[in-house]
């Protein structure tokens, strides 16, 4: 039995203990209203209940109970205009009702009985909240919106536990934006939670427009192109981060969370990896990592080969390369920079224009410009193929911020390749490895589990092992509870033996 299970059993001893456990979170509300001479206590999660139904219940009790005579607490159940309302004295039933979005009404003079009123609503949730930048074929498509209350509602609908703690912080001297910090008590390390809260409270900024700004303001290193916190608009990714021991942050008006501490390999993990069999999930994850490496070094390798290292190219291929470059008046460096810049122009224009126009511009513009560049002898066919594949491979990363970092790093590596060839590429690679090994995310190593080496965490890094092997949480997070689950082995039975 882990720490969370033991704590949950203790919370079920009495109704006051249940309410005290729920009160640890800032989105748990307690209102005391005197109705018909009875001091009533209304307890609920404001991120789960429908505020309109709450007003209806309170108004109905006030309107029908103002008679001048004393009313017994059980008689109030008759005045609640919502079906399936009931009375109970079981603490486990009260806990389950609170986590499902019910209103719990108690009388402070008669604490043994409580009234449960179901009022789960979908207030403020837009009909189309599918993810736009993190699309997946398999799995839920639930994304976040620009309302903080709705986003917290979506998280609580997936994690129905009192250990999910929400802390609200006000950030922005002019905007006074609400920022919510989420973590699972008993799993997340208190040092990570405290460090995140201290950094958010130490922000002195005027207006917070999006959670991505908080990402930059609380980062351990502001001079790196690599994102140090995972940014996501998917609910399942945030829930997975919370149950592994990470801390999640979102600001009001933003449709995305940031989670941390994060590692470099978190940006190559897709939720689809866990919805597919482990062999397929591992294969597609390796494809993403290979695609990023190809996107980062392919154009630079072409420049190095065409400038310094003709001797390593096979004779059959060398003849083709020479024939494609015979009429090109520019050196390989300017040729590669021209094409890479053109690709970036098309990509930025396609992202800023409306969807239909942007898609047309990307396809038609790329074909026309590529064909015209070859006919005008401004570039070679081989480099167009390499640059196109590099641009395509840069999109295999599930997190958009990491894709931007890869796009940026291609240019200095091409410059190094034009100066010193393969030695320049090696210098760039060494610089990247040293830089990555020095980075930290919320104080944790960014290159974990490879630096420092953690063998137990390797089974969910480059590959995704089966669920029978991934029963523990990552050790670099230093969670309070290492055991996630205990899978039972299914013993197949032969129906012929039964006969």
Which residues does 170 contact at the CB level (< 8 Å), separation at least 6? 176, 177, 178, 179
Over 60: is that where the pLDDT of 7 sits? no
Q: Looking at residue 6, what is its pLDDT?
A: 42
Q: Which helix (H) or strand (E) holds 123?
A: none
* Stated pTM of the model: 0.88
Which residues does 145 contact at the CB level (< 8 Å), separation at least 6? 124, 125, 126, 129, 151, 255
> Span 75-94, mean pLDDT?
85
- Over the stretch 125-180, which tens digit does the pLDDT of each residue have? 555 566 777 777 788 888 898 889 889 999 998 998 999 999 999 998 888 889 99
Best-predicted range by mean pLDDT (54-68, 80-94, 223-237, 451-465)? 223-237
More confident residue, 5 or 470: 470
Task: List, edge to edge, every strand of the sheet that includes 247-251.
Answer: 164-171, 177-184, 247-251, 257-260, 230-232
Distance of CA 202 to the CA centre of its chain: 23
More confident residue, 307 or 2: 307
Q: Looking at residue 119, what is its pLDDT?
A: 81
The DSSP string of 240-252 is HHHHHT-EEEEET
Joined tokens for residue 169 = 């912080």
Residue 420: which pLDDT band, with cuts at 50, 70 and 90? Answer: very high
* Cα dist from 353 to 168, 307, 348, 360, 395, whole Å: 36, 38, 9, 10, 19
Residue 412: which pLDDT band, with cuts at 50, 70 and 90? Answer: very high
- Over the stretch 383-409, which tens digit does the pLDDT of each residue have? 888 888 888 888 888 888 999 999 999
Contact 68, 79 (CB under 8 A): no
More confident residue, 321 or 421: 421
Q: Looking at residue 90, what is its pLDDT?
A: 87
Q: What distance in Å separates the CA atoms of residue 176 and residue 211, rounded to the nearest whole number?
A: 14
- Over the stretch 227-255, which tens digit does the pLDDT of each residue have? 999 999 999 999 999 999 999 999 998 99
- Over the stretch 427-463, which tens digit does the pLDDT of each residue have? 999 999 999 999 999 999 999 999 888 888 888 889 9
Q: Looking at residue 104, what is its pLDDT?
A: 92
- Over the stretch 181-196, which tens digit does the pLDDT of each residue have? 999 999 999 999 999 9
Q: Looking at residue 347, what is its pLDDT?
A: 81
**Residue 436: exposed, middle, or buried by beta-carbon count in 10 A (0-12, 13-18, 19+)?**
middle
Residue 1: which pLDDT band, with cuts at 50, 70 and 90? Answer: very low
Over 60: is that where the pLDDT of 362 sits? yes
Residue written as tokens 């400038």?
Answer: 307
Residue 64: which pLDDT band, with cuts at 50, 70 and 90? Answer: low
Joined tokens for residue 231 = 């940014």
Over 80: is that where the pLDDT of 373 sits? no
Q: Looking at residue 337, what is its pLDDT?
A: 92
Contact 425, 413 (CB under 8 A): yes
Over 80: is that where the pLDDT of 92 sits? yes
- Over the stretch 258-307, which tens digit does the pLDDT of each residue have? 998 999 999 999 888 999 999 999 999 999 999 999 999 999 999 999 88
Strand partners, 174: none
> Span 64-86, mean pLDDT?
75
Q: Looking at residue 67, what is its pLDDT?
A: 56
- The rounded percent of the chain whose pLDDT value lies above 70 is 87
């Amino acid at each position: 039995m882990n720490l969370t299970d033991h704590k949950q059993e203790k919370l079920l001893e009495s109704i006051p203990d249940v309410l005290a456990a729920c009160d640890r979170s800032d989105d748990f509300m307690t209102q005391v209203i005197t109705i018909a001479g009875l001091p009533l206590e209304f307890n609920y999660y404001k991120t789960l209940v429908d505020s309109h139904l709450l007003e209806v219940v309170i108004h109905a009790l006030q309107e029908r109970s103002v008679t001048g005579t004393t009313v017994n607490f059980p008689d109030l159940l008759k005045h609640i205009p919502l079906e399936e309302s009931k009375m109970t004295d079981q603490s486990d039933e009260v806990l389950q009702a609170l986590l499902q979005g019910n209103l719990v009404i108690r009388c402070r003079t008669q604490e043994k009985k409580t009234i449960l009123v179901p009022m789960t609503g979908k207030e403020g949730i837009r009909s189309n909240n599918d993810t736009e930048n993190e699309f997946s074929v398999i799995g839920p498509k639930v994304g976040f919106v620009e309302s903080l209350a709705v986003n917290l509602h979506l998280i609580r609908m997936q994690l129905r536990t009192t250990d999910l703690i929400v802390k609200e912080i006000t950030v922005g001297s002019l905007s006074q934006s609400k920022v919510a910090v989420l973590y699972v008590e008993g799993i997340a390390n208190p040092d990570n939670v405290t460090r995140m809260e201290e950094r958010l409270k130490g922000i002195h900024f005027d207006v917070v427009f999006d959670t991505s700004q908080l990402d930059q303001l609380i980062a351990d290193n502001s001079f790196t192109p690599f994102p140090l916190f995972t940014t996501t608009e998917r609910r399942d990714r945030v829930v997975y981060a919370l149950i592994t021991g990470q801390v999640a942050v979102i600001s009001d008006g933003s449709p995305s969370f940031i989670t941390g501490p994060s590692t470099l390999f978190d940006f190559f993990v897709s939720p689809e990896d866990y919805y597919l069999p482990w062999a397929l999930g591992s294969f597609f994850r390796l494809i993403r990592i290979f695609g990023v490496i190809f996107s980062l070094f392919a154009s630079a390798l072409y420049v190095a080969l065409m400038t310094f290292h003709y001797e390593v190219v096979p004779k059959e291929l060398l003849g083709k390369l020479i024939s494609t470059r015979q009429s090109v008046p520019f050196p390989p460096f300017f040729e590669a920079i021209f094409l890479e810049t053109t690709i970036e122009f098309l990509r930025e224009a396609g992202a800023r224009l409306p969807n239909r126009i942007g898609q047309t511009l990307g396809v038609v513009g790329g074909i026309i410009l590529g064909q015209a560049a070859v006919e005008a002898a401004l570039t070679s066919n081989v480099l167009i193929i390499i640059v196109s594949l590099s641009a395509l491979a840069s999109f295999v990363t599930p997190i958009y911020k990491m894709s931007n970092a890869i796009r940026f790093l291609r240019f200095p590596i091409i410059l190094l390749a034009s100066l010193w060839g393969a030695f320049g590429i090696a210098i760039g690679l060494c610089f990247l490895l040293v830089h990555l090994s020095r980075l930290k995310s919320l104080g944790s190593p960014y290159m974990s589990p490879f630096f420092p080496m953690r063998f137990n965490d390797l089974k969910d890094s480059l590959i995704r092992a089966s669920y029978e092997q991934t029963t523990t949480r990552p050790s670099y997070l230093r969670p309070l509870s290492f055991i996630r689950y205990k899978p039972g082995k299914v013993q197949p039975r032969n129906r012929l033996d039964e006969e």
